[in-house]
Chain A
Amino acid sequence: MTSLPMGIGAGPRPGHVGELHLRRFRAGELAGASHDQTASHIDSCGACRARLRMLDDEQRAFEREVPLARFTGGVERARRVPRTRPRRAWAWTATTVLCAAAGVVLVARTGVFEPASPPGTGLNQIKGTRSVEALIRIARPDGSDQRSAAPGTTAALRPGDRVRIGYRVPGVRHLIAVSLDDAGTITPLYPQSGAALPVVPRPEAMYLDDSVEFTGHGGERVWLVLARAPVTVAEVGRAVKTAVISAAGKSDGLGPIEIPGNQVESFSWHFDKP
C-alpha cells in the first residue's frame, strides 16, 4: 500500500510501533521478544513514548467520564437486556440513577487524598540510566495531615491512616506492589492478581489509584517492584517468600527482590501498625 494523502495514517508507520500494538503493550498482552523489542523501541523513540502517554491519558479520561460503578452497572444491564434498538428514554433514567451512585464512589476515591510532590523519595540509580523513584504518602482518611516515607525507613501508622504508593520511571517498567505482615502473610496490593501493570515515563510522579489501610497490630513491610520485563503477582510473591526464607523469617533487614531472568528494581518500607 502506498501512503494516503494528507498524512493520513496508512497502516503500520515505518520505524514506529502500530497503534494496536502499543495498546496491547499497555494492556500487558505482549511477552518475550515482542515485548522486549517494543519496550526497547519505546525507550528510544520519543514519538512512540508520546503516543503511549496519550493512550494512558485516554484511559484516565475514560475513567473520569465513565466511573467504574457506572461501567459495571451498564455492562450488567446490557448482559440482562441485550440492546437491539435505541432505548434512550429509560436508559437515560437508569444512567442518571447510576451517576448519582457513582458520585458517592467518586468522592470515596478522590476524597482519600491527592498526593503532592513529596520530599520522601526513593531513588535507584542503574548505571547508564536515569533514576527510578518510589514514593509513599500517608494521610488521614479525609486526606489531611499528609506525610511522606522514604524507602528503607519505618513509619508509624495511626488508626485509620491510609497509605498510597507512587512512582516515577525513566523507561517502561512493570509494576507490582505486595505486603508482608509479621505472621508471614504476603498480600498482593496492586494488582491483586495476574500480570504487572505496565507503566511509562511521565514528567510528573504517578500514584496508584487505590490507597491501603493496614489493620491489626505489629509490623507490615511493603514492596514496590518495578521490573524491566513482564512479571506476574505470583512470581513476585515467590520472590518475596524467598527473601523471607533467606532472612530466617524476619521481615526486618530484607534485601532487594530478585527474579531470575528479569532486571528488577525494588523498594520497601516498614510500617508499625497502631
Chain B
Amino acid sequence: MTQGRKPQLRLIPGAKSGDPLRELYQKYGGSVYGRCVYILKDRSKAEDAMQDVFAKALEHFTGFRAEASPLTWLMKIATHHCLNLIRSERAPWRSRFKTETEARGSGHGGPQVFEARDLVHKLLAQFDLETQTAVIHYHVDEMTLDEVAALIGRSVPTVRKRLEDFQTLCEKEAPT
C-alpha cells in the first residue's frame, strides 16, 4: 500500500479514520440501546444509560478492545447498570409494571397480551440483582448455563439454582 500520500477521494459524511465512538455506535449501539430500553422501559432513560455504558467502554478502551467479546462485556455492563438504576429509583418493579399493564388498556389487547419478554421482565422484580442478571443473560441473551456462570462469576450450580427459583415463580404466576 502506498504511504505518505493523501488519497484523492473523500468520504461523505465521513469520520475520522478509526473513530472508536463511530465504530462502537455502528457495531454495538442497537444492541446496547435495545437492552437498556428492555430493562428501563423508558427511551429517554435508556439513552442516558446507554451513554453511560459506552462512556465506561471508552474509559477502559484498551482492555475493552482486548476482550474476547466486547459485545458480551457491553451487554453485561448495560444489564447491570440498568438493573442498578431501577433499584436506585426505589420504585418497586411490581407496582410499576402493574401500572404499565393497566395503562395498556383494551386497545392493546389488555393485560393478557404480554410478549414473552414482558412476562420475564415483570417477574424479575421479585428477585435479587444477581438472579435478575442471570435470568436476563439466560432467557433474553440465550446464553448457556456455562456462559452465564462465567459472565457473572458464579458456579454453574449456583446459576442453575437461581434460574430454577425464577422458573418456579414463572410456573406459579404465568397466565394460562
Contacts and interface: CB of A to CB of B under 8 A. Distances in A.
Interface in B1-56: 1-2, 5, 7-15, 17-18, 21-23, 25-31, 33-34, 43-44, 47-48, 50-52, 54-55
Contacts of A62: 29-30, 33-34
Contact of B21 (A18, A65, A75, A192): A75
11 contacts: A1-B163, A4-B174, A8-B139, A55-B30, A66-B29, A66-B33, A66-B47, A184-B2, A212-B12, A213-B10, A220-B8
A58 B35 CA distance: 11
Interface in B143-175: 143-145, 160, 163-164, 167, 170-171, 174-175
Given A8-B119, A78-B52, A71 B25 contact: yes
Interface in A221-256: 237-238, 241
Interface of B: 1-2, 5, 7-15, 17-18, 21-23, 25-31, 33-34, 43-44, 47-48, 50-52, 54-55, 58-59, 69-72, 75, 88, 116-117, 119-120, 137-145, 160, 163-164, 167, 170-171, 174-176
Interface in A1-26: 1-2, 4-13, 18-21, 23-24
Given A6-B174, A23-B71, A185-B2, 11 more contacts: A1-B163, A1-B167, A4-B167, A6-B119, A8-B174, A11-B143, A27-B70, A71-B51, A71-B54, A79-B55, A238-B1
Interface residues of A, number: 75
A8 B169 CA distance: 13
Interface of A: 1-2, 4-13, 18-21, 23-24, 27-29, 55, 58-63, 65-66, 68, 71-72, 74-79, 82-83, 85, 88, 91, 105, 108-109, 112, 162, 179, 181, 183-187, 189, 191-194, 210-218, 220, 237-238, 241, 273
